[in-house]
Amino acid sequence: MTRILGVLGLLVVLYTTLITSHPKAGEPDNLISVANLQGRFGIITLGAALVIIVGGIDLSIGAVVGCSAVLFGVLMNKGVHPFAAVPIVILFGATVGLTNGSLITRLKLQPFLVTLCGMFVFRGFARLLGGTLGQASVIEGHPEYKDPIRTLRHLLIGKDPIDGELIFPAQFILLIVLAGLVGFFLHRTAYGRYWYAIGHSELAAKYAGVNVSRQRVVIYVVCSALAALTGVLLFLDAPSVQSDNAGFSWELYAILGAVLGGCSLRGGEGTAVGMVLGAMVLPVLESLVNFRGDASDVIPVVIGLTLLIGAIVDELIRQRSRIHR
């Protein structure tokens, strides 16, 4: 609970600073575009957080996002209808998760190692599939896909079908729906209990008769499927995607969001509300840096320092509460 209060406080400070930093920063246009980014990062944060709760880590998220975005474009270029391409891409993500999860549970490989390899492999796949793709080039080749693509863009991104203006934060709404689902499973069902138990003490879960391997695999499948969905969103939102940098290092943003939201990297901790709040921090920070007119080069420094300060405060609070227990 105190962990959520911490990130909530951080968000209040960031939003206040953002709105007072520039007259345009507080306008709905900007807030909607920030919310949309929050939604997109939030969705991968949910996956990363679930993996962290069961005591694992997924470093392949960014590469899977990039690979999925490229795959989505390539499928449509090859004549697959956009409505059919979306489930195919998500299925691809699920297969990636199944592979990661199986390697980790059956062969007992370290999650860090398996997903680090995945990061290289899927980035490589993306580059083998194609270079630069965009909605415009797909529509050029298949004019009949123009309407379905725009419908998807309207529904999932919130952009006007005609002029492409961002009119509502659809990605954020999608995040809330998905977070609601994650929260339901995490906090209201037996499965959630298993995930917390596995993350904190795998043996305790095993001795209680929990099928630890199966639960772990399921979590990796969910995480990679969410990354694939995010790849679709990226393709629909961006004018074009480049296979060598689409989603690059997003796994770190996702892990950052999860940790800011109260997931312990030691496993067994974290809430759905915290995940959403944690994922909201980064886009506000980015917008703030942009409006202050700072060079975008400072963004990584700001992100790094914010997390470090957050971690220090968190640890101090924890030590204090331990002493006074």
Partner 1 sequence: MPTPRLQVTTARKEFPGVIALDGVSLTLAPGEVLAVVGENGAGKSTLMKIVAGVYQADAGEVLLDGQPIHFAGPGDAVAAGVILIHQELNLAENLTVLDNLFLGREVTTGGGLRVLNRRVMAERAAELLKRVGLPADRISARVESLPPGEKQLVEIARALGTDVRVLIMDEPTSSLTQRETETLYEVIAALKAANVSVLYISHRLAEVKQCADRVVVLRDGRNAGELAKADITHDNLVRLMVGRDLKQFYPKTHKATGDGKPVLTLQNVRYRGGPDIPASFEVRAGEILGMAGLVGAGRTELSEAVFGVRPVTAGEILLNGEPLRVGSPADAIEAGVLLVPEDRRLHGLVLAESVGFNISLPNLAQISSRFGVRRSEEAELHKKWIERLRVKTPSAAQPVGLLSGGNQQKVVYGKWLARGPKVLILDEPTRGVDVGAKAEIYALIDELAGNGVAVWMITSDMEELLGMSDRVVVMHEGRIAGELRGGLTEEAVMRLATGGTAT
Residues found near partner 1 in the complex (CB under 8 A)? 188-191, 193-194, 196-197, 199-201, 203-211, 268-269, 322-323, 325
CB 199 → partner 1: shortest distance, Å?
8
Backbone angles phi, psi at 168, to 5 degrees: -150, 155
Q: CA distances (Å), 158 to each of 61, 136, 170, 204, in order? A: 24, 18, 5, 45
CB 208 → partner 1: shortest distance, Å?
3
Which element (helix H / strand E) includes 132? strand 132-134
In three-state secondary structure terms, 192 is helix
* Distance (Å, whole) CA 42 – CA 230: 10
CB 153 → partner 1: shortest distance, Å?
33
CB 281 → partner 1: shortest distance, Å?
24
User: Closest CB to partner 1 among 93 and 267?
Assistant: 267
Q: Is 59 left (phi over 0), alpha (psi -120 to 50) or beta?
A: alpha
* Distance (Å, whole) CA 113 – CA 216: 16
User: Closest CB to partner 1 among 81 and 266?
Assistant: 266
User: Closest CB to partner 1 among 191 and 248?
Assistant: 191
User: Closest CB to partner 1 among 162 and 190?
Assistant: 190
Block residue for tokens 């370290």: 110
CB 236 → partner 1: shortest distance, Å?
31
User: Closest CB to partner 1 among 136 and 207?
Assistant: 207
Short-list 180, 182, 261, CA closest to 1: 261
Amino acid at 140: E
Which element (helix H / strand E) includes 274? helix 272-291
CB 211 → partner 1: shortest distance, Å?
7
User: Closest CB to partner 1 among 201 and 249?
Assistant: 201
